[in-house]
Chains A and B, each alone.
Chain A
């Protein structure tokens, strides 16, 4: 199996002299192709910092990151942008849809930016829209649809360019439980059927229970790791809860 993400000794330090805050300390992380990995931890543990660094939105203070065989630390801004466009898919808590574009236009945006030809672009748009069941809202604008529909739109956009890695930052954070479950089911299908590699930051144990593997971070360091293995989702959920209570502090907001 191929290694998709290989991060070594990642450090992230904020602030200047005298007032230094270390957000990440020597984090090592490996994600294999086809994995669905969750990252959990209390607020301020450094989950989002880690995700942002993997997403190339933020730069590590030290350490090496290799995604799909490409070393990110050696790339300039322009190449990083192209890398994000071609290799990564994003899913955020606040959807990050462009208000001025229709659902369809939002979805195809990464392909339009990559200047793909129109026929191929339309075909793929229909394909992902079917997958997430949003075909009938394709011509609506974000202000006209619900939160769940928005997140499914964002998910469609995240996968349309067939990225090597999908990064999700609290994707269920703003959704009601029904919409959250729908989205998680879709992500699971994506992972199982299309072999998509997903890395998801969450502080919701229910969401984490959909992963194959969950990493727990505390104070910028990896605290422990939990693998689902042959367990049922229900069992895995309870396991996650156990670790969370051991972790303590700010991670008690379970459903």
Chain B
């Protein structure tokens, strides 16, 4: 504890505060590291936000700017809460010191001012260090982002004046607030409260069966609501009602789970005497039981935060991971264009053939006839104009794309290609038919198949009908088909230069790009940025939740020192104490993580249903990766906590 230098009249408050910090840097260290950490994170994020490359993508896409906006608000909120939390943690430790000043006769106002200055000085130093470290770190993050996007594109994350200004403003507000809190500390408490703060003993929590049952019910209800299959009609109102209720139930249920259900379960485990009265289990169980009320809120926040993080990370990583598949679906062939006369066509062909690094694997013509069609049933999709292609063309194209789908039709039958970005299944079309109107009169074709291989780049409305060769030839006599020229080349994911040339020449034949590479690359960049943002936020949440548990455990360790000393005296050896600490920490880290993973699995089941219906891929791998990543980082915190805890109580 620091004893101020008495009798030095000329010592200003400012210098007293400064000496205070210098004198107990260890006490201040944890708080200071928190400040710097928050600042580095925030500055890195804003400097990314203001970099040219990302500004570009923000301007291009509404989703992007929305995401960045939301992310930076979440980050500010989060950073503020984190700093306030560690500030109150820090203040609690210093109450006695403040009480001592008052007893030694320092005026309240003087102490208040001193605390104010102290916090301000620390904050300002933290800002400077935070920005310096943040600048270095943003370089590193920039490199990661470039790697993710897979381009050598210039991503400049130099020193950004805008980012500095924004960081300084945000943090000055937070620091001023905490400084005022510090100023008010001495006025908020009486002297006796300052001295005896830590004496408040925790009491054994009572088992409340009712709230445990309500907690379980709420969790079950929210899971049920989330996992419920989608209704036929998907309205905003339904979304709000169903998932809004599910969310609220989940939050309250999780809190009750930690508050009551765990108490109930721990109490139950005490009933089994032959297990409970064996070795150090008796100590761990009772310690956990005593601490659970104090930890319930932290556990809830951490479980919910981790599940949100795993969800976002899983979903965005899925996007990144599945980009190639998605691009292949949107733009099936390497190059596609509408035939515009022999001269134009051969010009395109020459460009593609000139690229020796990407030799042509397949090259074919796809004749398409656009007709008007009426379905025999109600479908909420605009089908006109219906695009007709012939059976043989489809089979050839599918073969060229290495898809093992073939269509066999008799004269009057038709097969539909599943419209992209929809979820229609075979059963929707089964037994139904389509009436196509031709100059020679309309004809009714029953659906016999639904296939999923697309042959041309996406263009709305995306309704392709495969008809028999005879039928196609017949219609073609009256209605001249449009011919699309498509090429499939080797190693299409690297065909940058040629794609650029082709795109330029072809222009906008489709809503999407006419070359696979462009679609693939755009998707990859967009997904990389999303992944990066969420990865970044995830990392922040992860680090913060890990740190919160870490700090909490360390405070507990300091309080429990005496208790462990008793155990040593009674005859528990160091190895057993370490084992006991391990088990206890495993519970403290494992419980919120397990609940978080469970929540996120449920939520991801919902999102993946949503996403994979859209892009039709398996998301298990990316989601698993996100979870594994999360568990690994938590494990690192766990080991760190066990070691420090052990060092504190088991020297």
Q: What is A's interface to B at a CB cutoff of 8 Å? A: 55, 57, 77-78, 80-86, 88, 90, 92, 96-101, 105, 108-113, 115, 117-118, 121-122, 141, 143, 157
CB distance from B648 to the nearest CB of A (A): 17
B204 contacts across to A, CB distance below 8 A: 100, 141
Closest 8 CB pairs of A and B: A85-B571, A81-B573, A84-B571, A100-B286, A96-B566, A112-B277, A100-B290, A118-B274
Chain B nearest Cβ from A142, distance in angstroms: 9
Pairwise interchain contact B283-A110, C-beta atoms closer than 8 A = no
25 contacts between A and B (CB under 8 A): A78-B574, A78-B575, A80-B573, A84-B569, A85-B571, A90-B569, A97-B566, A98-B283, A98-B563, A100-B287, A100-B289, A100-B290, A100-B563, A101-B282, A109-B282, A112-B277, A112-B278, A113-B279, A113-B571, A115-B278, A118-B273, A118-B277, A121-B277, A122-B273, A143-B203
Show the binding face of B for A, using Cβ within 8 Å.
Answer: 201, 203-204, 273-274, 277-280, 282-283, 286-287, 289-290, 563, 566-576
Residue numbers in A under 8 Å from B567 (CB-CB)? 98
A82 touches B573 (CB 8 A): yes
Q: Identify 12 new A-B residue pairs, CB closer than 8 A, beyond the known A84-B570, A100-B204, A118-B274.
A: A57-B569, A78-B573, A84-B569, A92-B569, A96-B566, A98-B283, A98-B567, A101-B282, A105-B286, A108-B277, A111-B277, A112-B278
Q: Chain B residues with Cβ under 8 A from A141's Cβ?
A: 203-204
Residues in B neighbouring A111, C-beta threshold 8 A: 277
Residues A101 and B286 in contact in the complex (CB < 8 Å), given A77-B573, A78-B575, A85-B570:
yes
Q: How far is the CA of A83 from the CA of B203 in the complex (A)?
A: 33
In the complex, residue of chain A having the shortest beta-carbon distance to the beta carbon of B559:
A99
With A98-B563, A99-B201, A105-B286 given, is the CB distance from A88 to B571 under 8 Å? yes
- Which residues of A sit under 8 angstroms from B574, Cβ to Cβ? 77-78, 81
Residues of B within 8 A of A86 (CB): 571
Residues of A within 8 A of B563 (CB): 98-100
Q: Do residues B201 and A143 form an inter-chain contact, with CB atoms below 8 A?
A: yes
- The answer on a CB contact under 8 Å between A110 and B570 is yes
Chain A residues contacting B569 (CB-CB under 8 Å) are: 55, 57, 84, 90, 92, 96
Q: Give the complex CA separation of A157 and B282 in angstroms.
A: 15
Report the bound CA distance from A86 to B572 in whole Å.
Answer: 11
Across the interface, name the chain A residue whose C-beta is closest to B288. Answer: A100
Bound-state CA distance A1–B405 (Å) is 98
Chain A interface mostly: helix
A185 to B649, CA, bound (A): 36
Chain A nearest Cβ from B520, distance in angstroms: 59
Q: How far is the CA of A13 from the CA of B283 in the complex (A)?
A: 35
Q: Is the CB of B572 within 8 A of A85?
A: yes
B566 close to A98 (CB less than 8 A): yes
Closest to A94 in B: B562
Specify which chain B residues have a CB less than 8 angstroms from the CB of A97 in the assembled complex.
Answer: 566
Residues of B within 8 A of A117 (CB): 274
Shortest distance from the beta carbon of B561 to any chain A beta carbon, whole Å: 13
Most chain B beta-carbon contacts within 10 A, residue among A57, A84, A101, A113: A113
B568 in contact with A113 (CB, 8 Å): no
Measured CA separation A250–B152 after assembly (Å): 82
Q: Which residue of A lies closest to B281 (CB)?
A: A112
Contact between A99 and B572, CB atoms less than 8 A apart: no
Q: Nearest Cβ distance between residue B247 and chain A, in whole angstroms?
A: 35
Chain B residues within 8 Å of A81, by CB: 568, 571-574, 576
Report Cα–Cα, A249/B279, bound state, in Å.
46
* Most central of A85, A99, A122, A143 by chain B CB within 10 Å: A99
A115 contacts B279, CB within 8 Å? yes
A83 touches B571 (CB 8 A): yes
Give A66 to B610 CA distance when docked, in angstroms.
75
- C-alpha gap A115/B289 in the complex (Å): 22
CA distance A115 to B283 in the complex (A): 13
Enumerate chain A residues within 8 angstroms of B576, measured Cβ to Cβ: 81, 113
Most chain A CB inside 10 Å of its own CB: which residue of B282, B283, B290, B571: B571
CB distance from B558 to the nearest CB of A (A): 15
Residues in chain A near residue B280, CB distance under 8 A: 113
Smallest CB gap from A157: residue in B: B570
> Which residues from A are CB-within-8-Å of B286?
98, 100-101, 105
CB-nearest residue of chain B to A87: B571
A240–B640 Cα distance when bound, in Å, is: 54
Across the interface, do A110 and B566 meet the contact criterion of CB distance under 8 Å?
Answer: no
A-side contacts of B287, CB under 8 Å: 100
- Distance A82 CA – B575 CA, assembled complex (angstroms): 12
Q: In the bound complex, what is the Cα–Cα distance between A4 and B442 (angstroms)?
A: 113
Query: Which residues does chain A contribute within 8 Å of B573, judged by CB atoms?
Result: 77-78, 80-82
Residues of A within 8 A of B203 (CB): 141, 143
Closest to A117 in B: B274
**Cβ distance B444 to chain A, nearest Cβ, rounded Å:** 80
CB distance from A158 to the nearest CB of B (A): 9
List of A residues within 8 angstroms of B277 by Cβ: 108, 111-112, 118, 121
* Chain A: minimal CB distance from B168 (Å): 46
* Assembly CA distance A85 to B204 (angstroms): 27
Closest chain-A Cβ to B33's Cβ sits at a distance in Å of 31
State in angstroms the CA–CA spacing of A134 and B204 once bound together. 20
Q: Which residues of B contact A100 (CB under 8 A)?
A: 204, 283, 286-287, 289-290, 563
Shortest Cβ gap from A69 to chain B (Å): 18
Output the nearest chain B residue to A105 by Cβ-Cβ distance.
B282
Min CB distance, A7 to chain B, in Å?
19
Q: Taking A99-B290, A113-B280, A117-B274 as contacts, is the C-beta distance between A57 and B568 under 8 angstroms?
A: yes
| A119 CB, min distance to chain B CBs, angstroms | 9
A18 to chain B, nearest CB (A): 25
CA gap between A90 and B204 in the complex, in Å: 26
What residues on A are CB-neighbors of B572 within 8 Å? 81, 85, 113
- Determine the distance from Cα of A121 to Cα of B274 in the docked complex, in whole angstroms: 10
> How far, in angstroms, from A90 to B273 measured CA to CA in the complex?
25
Q: For the complex, what is the distance from the CA of A85 to the CA of B570, rounded to whole Å?
A: 6
Q: Max chain A CB contacts within 10 Å: which of B273, B572, B573?
A: B573
Point out the residues of chain A lying under 8 angstroms from B566, CB to CB. 96-98
- B274's nearest neighbour on chain A, judged by CB, is A118
A99 vs B290: C-alpha distance in the bound complex, in angstroms?
9
Chain A residue with the shortest CB-CB distance to B203: A143
Residues of B close to A105: CB separation below 8 A: 282, 286
Q: Which of A100, A101, A110 has the most CB of B within 10 A?
A: A100
Q: Give the one of A109, A110, A157 with max B CB within 10 A.
A: A109
Of listed B201, B277, B290, residue having the most chain A CB within 10 A: B277
Contacts of A122 in B (CB 8 A): 273
Residues of B within 8 A of A55 (CB): 569
Which of A88, A105, A111 gathers most chain B CB within 10 Å? A105
A11 and B571 alpha carbons, distance in the complex (Å): 24
Whether A101 and B571, one on each chain, are in contact in the complex, defined by CB atoms closer than 8 angstroms, is no
Q: How far is the CA of A202 from the CA of B278 in the complex (A)?
A: 35
A118 to chain B minimum Cβ distance, whole angstroms, is 5
Chain A residues within 8 Å of B289, by CB: 100
Cβ contacts under 8 Å, A96 to chain B: 566, 569
Q: How far is the CB of A4 from chain B (nearest CB, A)?
A: 17
Distance in angstroms from B288 CB to nearest chain A CB is 9
- What chain B residues lie within 8 Å of A121 (beta carbons)? 277
Interchain CB contact under 8 A, B571 and A110? yes
Question: B573: shortest Cβ distance to chain A, in Å?
Answer: 3
Cα–Cα distance between A121 and B75 once the two chains are bound (Å) = 55
Closest Cβ of chain B to A88, distance in Å, is 7
What residues of B have a CB within 8 angstroms of the CB of A83 in the complex?
571
CA of A101 to CA of B282, assembled, Å = 8
- Residues in B whose Cβ lies below 8 Å from that of A84: 569-571
Residues of B within 8 A of A99 (CB): 201, 290, 563
